[in-house]
């Protein structure tokens, strides 16, 4: 087990979950974090899709990294990502059509997700396939966690549901409680991400900029 | 209790709050109340720069509160007046005022309790003095909301505004947006059904168990601007709650449905008078907002599309809705408005223009004042930057000419 996950590998896998989180620390992938987090379900699917695509494109690019001419490396990376995105998109359309409709263009736009190009350029181009895979998984999970937290609060307070099930009891609504319409608007996702960053940095003092 | 007794009382309890006292932790609370009641006795040291003026931030804030009192009192009366009109009861002035007082009071209590509560907690955590900024904000919030807003919504909106519009920016004097307007915007976008429409502007139920009755037939609670925004024809005809036509002077007096403090131009003018003679608010900002609104109103009257909102006479735009209230009490907020003298003209003019543009061109928003002021809050620093920059360039070129 210790050989399977060396200290460095563990760092590569778990770092992006907190201290090197792609959204809250590197501030990448914000656009899709705003767009797909009104409900928990699309956010979950988006998180899983991005995780799979980052992990496997990291492996593929890492495998061919020594044969890619430097001047066309971005194009090669894009081809790899586009192929994977197309596969994931087709699978979603076949097996989870409703969710793929909700995600609409944002599945296709994973190609332009800054996290992907960031990981390929910064990690996969200079590391072994196994470590690149772990790095992809870690960053995908780090992205997914933030999406899940944001969409949890947005769906709970914006629609009163979670994964489509009613959570806030009808008796609350009877005495005057109302869902907050602001939660369904993208600006609230930005404010929630800011709150996560606030809590995160308050707990990890070394992350605070001077 | 006269002032001396109050002073003696404050002096008597002071030791408890000083270092080593029993209530040492509440020092900032004591300090906040003491400086609210009395001008601080501390004098400037013998060195350094001195400011010979006892008008500190708390005195400025108290002046604004005094200026808001006419709008509050008239708002209370109008709430009662509209209530008894709607349920068809003929009662005397004091009954109407009492109803309005009981209807508005809970909002003031909730607004101050939540806002000051957060400020007190924040000050204790940071170990700082309590900032006085919420004094005015807490007074403004009840005046700019419909009288039927649920209290818990006001509490949530106030908490949101104080934390996200003020505390995260560094507290009083550091905020980019007008805090009271952020609270209103939160309500407006979060709970739109409680902030617009025909049934939110007049309290037809009871106020703390007082009043209440059945609404009479032929009653409609839409505000004049609401009627304009939803008009089916292009004739800008506005009526009161029983279908009688309304004109400029009805808007000026203000016995019409609307947010609590916004309806009466007379009450707002009294406030404006207080703000201007004490020089707390800038007459340039105030005047230019009205000027911008009038200008844009005239443009739409002459060249606008064939809609009721565009045909609504420009002078009516200035007296109906929250335009005057926003111009006098919100646009002039010294923290969020432009600070350069030339900038104040530009800032006010654009607020006036934008408010009317939103009213006329976006039927979804019957009132544009809130959005116009919040939008211009963002641009105030930019306006100031270019005013200063232009001045620097002008002086440089003058200096270069004198060298040649």
Per-residue model confidence as pLDDT tens digits over A8-58: 778 888 878 777 888 888 788 888 778 888 889 889 988 999 999 999 999
The two tokens of residue B78 are 């109008």
Beta carbons of B191 and A183 less than 8 Å apart? no
Query: Which neighbouring-strand residues pair with A161?
Result: A166
What confidence score (pLDDT) does residue B346 get? Answer: 96
Contact A178 B191 (CB under 8 A): yes
Inter-chain CB proximity A185 and B192 less than 8 Å:
no
Determine what percent of chain B is predicted with pLDDT higher than 90: 52
Distance CA A48, CA A30 (A): 16
The CA-based angle A185-B321-B343, given to 5 degrees, is 80
Which residue among A176, A180, A198 sits closest to B190, beta carbon to beta carbon? Answer: A180
Of A137, A189, A181, residue with least CA distance to A158: A181
Chain B residues inside the 8 Å CB shell of A198: 168
In the prediction, which pLDDT does A1 show? Answer: 44
Q: How far apart are CA A130 and CA A63, in angstroms?
A: 10
Instruction: Report yes or no: B197 and B226 within 8 Å, Cβ to Cβ.
Output: yes
Q: Which residues of A touch B194 (CB under 8 A)?
A: 178
pLDDT, tens only, B260-307: 999 999 999 999 999 999 988 999 999 999 999 999 999 999 998 888
Q: What is the reported pLDDT for A145?
A: 92
Q: Are B294 and B314 in contact (CB under 8 A)?
A: yes
Name the band, by pLDDT with cuts 50, 70 and 90, for residue B348.
Answer: very high
Predicted pLDDT at B345: 96
Give DSSP secondary structure letters for B179-190: HHHHHHHHHHHH
* Chain B contact for A79 (CB, 8 A cutoff): no
From CA B101, how far away is CA A137, in angstroms rounded?
61
Q: From B391, B345, B87, A82, select the one nearest B79 (Cα to Cα).
A: B87
Bridge partners of B207, per DSSP, are: B210
Does residue B40 carry a pLDDT above 80?
no
Q: Which residues of B touch A176 (CB under 8 A)?
A: 150, 152
Q: Report the distance separating Cα B18 and Cα B22, nearest Å.
A: 8
B190 at A interface, C-beta within 8 A? yes
Residue (of A23, A83, A29) closest to A57 by Cα position: A83
Q: How confident is the model at residue A192, as a pLDDT?
A: 93
Per-residue pLDDT band at A83 (split at 50, 70, 90): very high
Q: pLDDT digits over B144-174, tens only?
A: 999 999 999 999 999 999 999 998 888 888 8
> In the A/B pair of chains, how many CB contacts fall below 8 A?
21
Q: Please give the average per-residue pLDDT across B82-105, as a whole number.
A: 91
Give the length of chain A. 210
Question: CA of A82, closest CA in chain B: separation in Å?
Answer: 38
Which residues from B are below 8 Å from A185, CB to CB? Answer: 189
pLDDT for position A13 = 80
The pLDDT assigned to A167 comes to 86
Q: With cut-offs at 50, 70 and 90, classify the pLDDT of residue B25.
A: low
Strands A165-166 and A161-162: antiparallel
SS percent in chain B: helix, strand, coil, step 5: 65, 0, 35
Confidence label for B41 from pLDDT (cuts 50, 70 and 90): low
Q: Look at residue B121 in the predicted model and tell me its pLDDT.
A: 86
A-chain residues near B186 (CB < 8 A): 182
Chain segment B193-211, per-residue pLDDT in tens: 888 878 888 888 888 878 7
3-state per-residue secondary structure call for B217-269: CCCCCCCHHHHHHCCCCCCCCCECCCCCECCHHHHHHCCCCCCCCCCCHHHHH
Strand partners, B245: B239
Tell me which of B298 and A117 has the higher pLDDT.
B298
Residue in B with minimal Cα distance to A178: B191
CA distance B47 to chain A (A): 32
Q: Which residues of A touch B168 (CB under 8 A)?
A: 198
Interface of A with B in 167-186 (CB under 8 A): 176-178, 180-183, 185
Query: Which residues, including other chains, have CB under 8 Å from residue B92's CB and lie 6 or more apart?
Result: none
A182–B192 C-beta distance less than 8 A: no
Residue in chain B closest to A176 (alpha carbons) equals B150
Q: How far apart are CA B286 and CA B268, in angstroms?
A: 12
For residue B177, count other CB atoms closer than 10 A to its CB.
21
CA dihedral sign, ordered B211, B215, B218, B222: positive
Instruction: Give residue B212's pLDDT.
Output: 77
CA distances from B215 to B86, B202, B212, B221 (A): 6, 11, 9, 11
Kindly report the nearest CA distance between residue A155 and chain B, in angstroms: 14
Report which DSSP code applies to A165.
Answer: E
d(C-alpha B345, C-alpha B288), whole Å: 6
How confident is the model over B50-91, as pLDDT tens digits?
655 666 777 788 889 999 999 999 999 999 999 998 888 888
The whole-angstrom distance between residue B359's C-alpha and the CA centroid of its chain comes to 19
Radius of gyration (C-alpha) of chain A in whole angstroms: 19
Contact B240, B263 (CB under 8 A): no
Find the length of chain B.
Answer: 404
Which residue of chain A is at minimal alpha-carbon distance from B189?
A182
CB burial of A19-43 (b: ≥16 within 10 Å; e: otherwise) equals ebbbbbbbebbeebbbbbbbbbbbb
What's residue B54's pLDDT?
60
Bin B208: left if φ > 0, else alpha if -120 < ψ < 50, else beta: left
Please answer yes or no on whether B190 and A182 come within 8 Å at the CB atom. yes
The complex's ipTM works out to: 0.84
CA distances for A31 relative to A23, A34, A35, A114, B374, angstroms: 10, 5, 6, 10, 24
Query: Could you tell me the pLDDT band of residue B232, with boundaries at 50, 70 and 90?
Result: confident
CB–CB of B189 and A176 under 8 A?
Answer: no
Residue B324: strand, helix, or coil: helix
Are A185 and B189 in contact (CB < 8 Å)? Answer: yes
Cβ contact B281:B325 at 8 Å: no
Q: Test B191 with A180 for CB contact under 8 angstroms.
A: yes
* A191 and B CB contact within 8 Å: yes
Q: Work out the average pLDDT over B32-44.
A: 69
The predicted model gives B298-324 an average pLDDT of 91
Q: Where are the alpha helices (DSSP H) in B144-212?
A: 151-160, 179-190
Alpha-carbon gap, residue B40 to A108, rounded angstroms: 64
Contacts of B191 in chain A (CB under 8 A): 178, 180-181
Residue range A149-194, pLDDT digits in tens: 999 999 999 988 898 888 888 888 888 888 898 999 888 999 999 9
Mutate to test the interface with A, among B159, B189, B191, B197 (most CBs of A within 10 A): B189
Q: Which long-range contacts (CB under 8 A, 24 or more apart) does B10-13 make?
A: B10/B34, B10/B37, B10/B38
**CA dihedral angle for residue A166, residue A168, residue A169, residue A174, rounded to 10 degrees:** -120
Which 3 state secondary structure label does DSSP give B45?
coil
């Amino acid at each position: 087990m210790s050989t399977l996950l060396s200290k460095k590998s563990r760092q590569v896998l778990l770092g992006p979950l907190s201290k090197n989180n792609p959204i809250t620390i590197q501030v990448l992938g914000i656009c899709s974090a705003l767009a797909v987090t009104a409900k928990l379900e699309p956010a979950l699917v988006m998180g899983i899709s991005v995780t799979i695509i980052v992990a496997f494109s990291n492996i593929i690019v890492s495998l061919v990294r020594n044969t890619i001419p430097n001047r066309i490396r971005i194009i090669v990376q894009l081809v790899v990502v586009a192929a994977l995105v197309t596969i994931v998109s087709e699978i979603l359309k076949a097996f989870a059509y409703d969710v793929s409709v909700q995600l609409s263009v944002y599945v296709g736009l994973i190609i332009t997700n800054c996290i992907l190009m960031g990981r390929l350029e910064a990690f996969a181009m200079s590391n072994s396939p196994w470590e690149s895979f772990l790095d992809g998984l870690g960053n995908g999970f780090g992205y997914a966690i933030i999406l899940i937290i944001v969409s949890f609060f947005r769906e709970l307070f914006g629609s009163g549901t979670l994964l489509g099930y009613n959570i806030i009891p009808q008796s609350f609504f009877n005495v005057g409680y109302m869902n907050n319409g602001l939660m369904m608007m993208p600006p609230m996702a930005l404010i929630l991400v800011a709150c996560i960053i606030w809590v995160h940095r308050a707990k990890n003092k070394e992350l605070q900029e001077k | 209790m006269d002032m001396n007794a109050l002073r003696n009382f404050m002096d008597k309890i002071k030791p408890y709050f000083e270092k080593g006292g029993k209530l040492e932790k509440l020092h900032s609370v004591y300090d906040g109340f003491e400086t609210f009641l009395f001008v601080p006795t501390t004098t400037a040291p013998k060195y350094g720069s001195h400011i010979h003026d006892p008008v500190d931030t708390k005195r400025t804030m108290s002046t604004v509160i005094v200026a808001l009192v006419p709008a509050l009192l008239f708002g209370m009366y109008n709430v009662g007046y509209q209530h008894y009109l709607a349920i068809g009861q003929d009662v005397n002035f004091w009954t109407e005022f009492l109803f309005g007082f009981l209807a508005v009071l809970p909002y003031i209590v909730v607004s101050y309790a939540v806002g000051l509560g957060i400020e007190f907690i924040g000050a204790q955590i940071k170990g700082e003095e309590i900032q006085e900024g919420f004094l005015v904000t807490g007074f403004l919030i009840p005046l700019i909301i419909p009288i039927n807003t649920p209290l818990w919504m006001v509490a949530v909106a106030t908490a949101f505004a104080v934390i996200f519009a003020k505390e995260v920016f560094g507290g009083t004097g550091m905020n980019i947006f007008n805090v009271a307007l952020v609270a209103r915007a939160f309500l407006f976008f979060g709970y739109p059904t409680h902030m617009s429409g025909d049934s939110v502007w007049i309290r037809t139920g009871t106020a703390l168990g007082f009043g209440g009755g059945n609404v009479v037939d032929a009653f409609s609670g839409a505000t004049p601007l609401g009627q304009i925004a939803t008009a089916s024809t292009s004739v800008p005809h506005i009526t009161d709650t029983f279908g009688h036509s309304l004109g400029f002077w009805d808007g000026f007096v203000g016995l019409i449905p609307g947010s609590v403090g916004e309806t009466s131009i007379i009450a707002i003018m009294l406030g404006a008078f207080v703000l201007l003679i004490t020089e707390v608010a800038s007459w340039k900002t105030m005047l230019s907002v009205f000027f911008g609104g009038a200008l844009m109103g005239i443009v739409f009257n002459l060249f606008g599309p064939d809609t009721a909102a565009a045909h609504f006479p420009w002078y009516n735009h200035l007296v109906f809705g929250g335009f005057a209230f926003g111009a006098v009490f919100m646009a002039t907020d010294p923290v969020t408005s432009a600070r350069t003298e030339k900038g104040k003209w530009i800032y006010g003019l654009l607020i006036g223009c934008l408010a009317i543009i939103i009213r006329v061109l976006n039927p979804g928003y019957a009132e544009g004042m809130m959005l116009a002021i919040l939008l211009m809050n963002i641009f105030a620093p930019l306006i100031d930057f270019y005013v200063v920059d232009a001045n620097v360039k002008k002086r440089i070129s003058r200096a270069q000419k004198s060298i040649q």
